[in-house]
Amino acid sequence: MKATLRPQLGQSIQLTPQLLQSIRLLQLTAPQLEQELRQALERNPLLEQDEEPEEPAAEADPDAAARDAAAWDELPEPAFLSGGNAAGEWDEDAGARVAASASSDPRQRLLQQLALHWAPRELALAAWWLDHCDDRGYLEQPLEELLRAGARHWALPARELELARQRLLHGDWPGMAAADAGECLRAQLAALPPTPARALAERILRERLDLLAAHDAAALAAALDAAPEQVRAAVALILGLRPHPVEELPASGHEALVPDVVAWKADGAWRVALNGRAAPRLRIAAHCERALAAAPGEAGALRGLLEEARWLVRGVAMRHDTLLRTAQVLVERQRAFLERGEEAIAPLTLREVADAIGMHESTVSRIVNGKYLQTPRGTFELKRLFAVRLEGAEVSGSAVKAMVKRLIDAEPAHAPLADDVIAGLLARQGVRVARRTVAKYRDQLSIAPARLRRRSPRQAKAG
């Protein structure tokens, strides 16, 4: 074999420690940022807390902060942030390697786990599937529609996309990206050691889910030709499974919910402002900066602390600016939701918000995770203002789900609405959805089918 040298031209991005710090500050929640800044006050004598009322102009140069953001965020080659480089080779996103606490977004937590043993290309497919899952981990649209859309988006055979979904389904969080509750429960059962009870439980989920929902153990035993005690063991195994695959963060018991942004309506317009009490405001001690400027060539260690303090103040200013601009776009796009409620929430994606503020989707994803918005309608996480557009409609899936719940809540107790009837009522309101879509949202709301919701007038009066 003859060794040869071959020149190759490529681009690479090197993130400086200062930029990595800026990225990390974007991800911090309000309590984490407060802790970070208080530690910086104790560690760096050149920093002091700013007790004065906040002025409209930020301490840090906004143009400089924007340039710093552009260095990693508004890149000419999007391949950097999707796991590739200029040579077409897959590599990890350097920004994703920044140390951070557990995200409040379950999809982000799962992707962090998968990144340990999934190839970058496979991880990108997993992220696509997770983007089409609701907060409980179920697919938000029918599987066949998603496979067609994914095949067009990725220019891949549907079989390869389904393979990635199956890896999620039977992976670290069994049942993730399941099409329905039955598939989720079967995936969880498959992760358990093989036993006679597990085999019978799989048969129940596959063949007699209706009898399981009716809690009719005797009918199950007769239908499956099994002993009553075997059926009880199988049912107990099923009841021990999680109703949805998403693993929740362990409750800390001591973290307070601190809104990062406040939105209110005044003079017919919605206004947005940062919560000044969310974290202490820092500034560089002016007398220390003047003293160092008058002593050129001396106090090298203090000059290093001064540079560190400048980068911290600038990074915090960039975080606040990005958070405020993101919140302003979200409130403006979802003002109907803030005024009228869940049924008015509009379809909105990370890309649309990123385009509006001139940054990358990864920045928006980082800045909304764990950040809370206080509104007259309540306090909730910013990511709740994102909603997936229902295919073939001009409304979001969250809005349709709220409509389904409203119709079922108002139905007569003795004549509950079937799924196809609900679909017809929605069509009269200009929202055309399939019966199976109504059934999917009803399942997500943990509402039983119409035949199980029917009650006699006497029962309704007693209830």
User: Cα Rg for the chain, rounded, in angstroms?
Assistant: 27
d(CA 178, CA 186): 10
How many residues in the chain? 463
Element containing residue 316 per DSSP (H, E): helix 300-333
pLDDT of residue 19: 65
d(CA 367, CA 281): 19
d(CA 397, CA 153): 20
Burial (CB < 10 A; 0-12, 13-18, 19+), residue 303, is middle
What does each of the 463 residues of the chain score in pLDDT, given as a tens digit? 556 666 655 544 445 566 667 777 888 888 888 888 888 888 888 888 876 544 433 334 445 445 444 443 433 333 333 333 333 333 333 333 333 444 556 777 788 888 888 888 888 899 899 888 887 888 988 999 999 999 998 999 999 999 999 999 998 889 999 998 888 888 988 888 888 888 888 888 888 877 887 778 888 888 888 888 888 888 888 888 888 888 654 444 445 677 899 999 888 889 999 987 767 788 887 777 676 666 665 556 677 777 888 888 888 888 999 999 999 999 999 988 888 888 888 888 888 899 999 988 888 888 888 889 999 888 888 988 887 776 656 677 778 888 888 888 888 888 888 888 888 888 887 778 888 888 888 888 888 888 888 875 555 555 5
Q: Which sequence spans correspond to the domains of the chain? A: 25-74+257-387, 105-179, 181-239, 397-462
Within 8 A by CB and 6+ apart from 237, the residues are 189, 192, 197, 198, 201
The CA angle 449-190-208, to the nearest 5 degrees, is 35
Q: How crowded is residue 431: how many other Cβ atoms within 10 Å of its Cβ?
A: 17
pLDDT of residue 5: 61
pLDDT of residue 100: 41
Fold category of 397-462 in CATH: Arc Repressor Mutant, subunit A (1.10.10)
pLDDT of residue 386: 85
pLDDT of residue 404: 86
What is the number of H-type helices and E-type strands within the chain? Answer: 22, 6
d(CA 59, CA 314): 8
Give the helix ranges, DSSP H, for 359-447. 361-368, 397-409, 419-428, 435-444
Element containing residue 42 per DSSP (H, E): helix 30-43
The β-bridge relationship of strands 282-284 and 372-375 is unpaired
pLDDT of residue 256: 61
Query: Strands of 269-274's sheet, edge to edge?
Result: 269-274, 261-266, 372-375, 378-381
d(CA 390, CA 398): 9
Whole-model pTM: value is: 0.52
Burial (CB < 10 A; 0-12, 13-18, 19+), residue 243, is exposed
pLDDT single digits (tens) 329-341:
999 999 888 888 8
| In contact, 353 and 329? CB cutoff 8 Å | yes
d(CA 1, CA 5): 13
Element containing residue 27 per DSSP (H, E): helix 17-27
Task: Identify the CATH number of the domain defined by range 105-179.
Answer: 1.10.10.1330
DSSP string, 98-157: S--PPPSSHHHHHHHHHTTTS-HHHHHHHHHHHHTB-TTSBBSS-HHHHHHHHHHHHT--
CATH topology match: 105-179 vs 397-462: yes
Q: How crowded is residue 117: how many other Cβ atoms within 10 Å of its Cβ?
A: 10
Q: How crowded is residue 402: how many other Cβ atoms within 10 Å of its Cβ?
A: 19
d(CA 164, CA 282): 46
DSSP string, 48-99: EE--SPPPSS-SS-HHHHHHHHHHHSS-S-GGGTTTB-TTS-B---GGGGS-
| In contact, 214 and 174? CB cutoff 8 Å | no
pLDDT single digits (tens) 199-223:
888 888 888 877 887 778 888 888 8
pLDDT of residue 58: 38
pLDDT of residue 412: 86
| In contact, 407 and 419? CB cutoff 8 Å | no
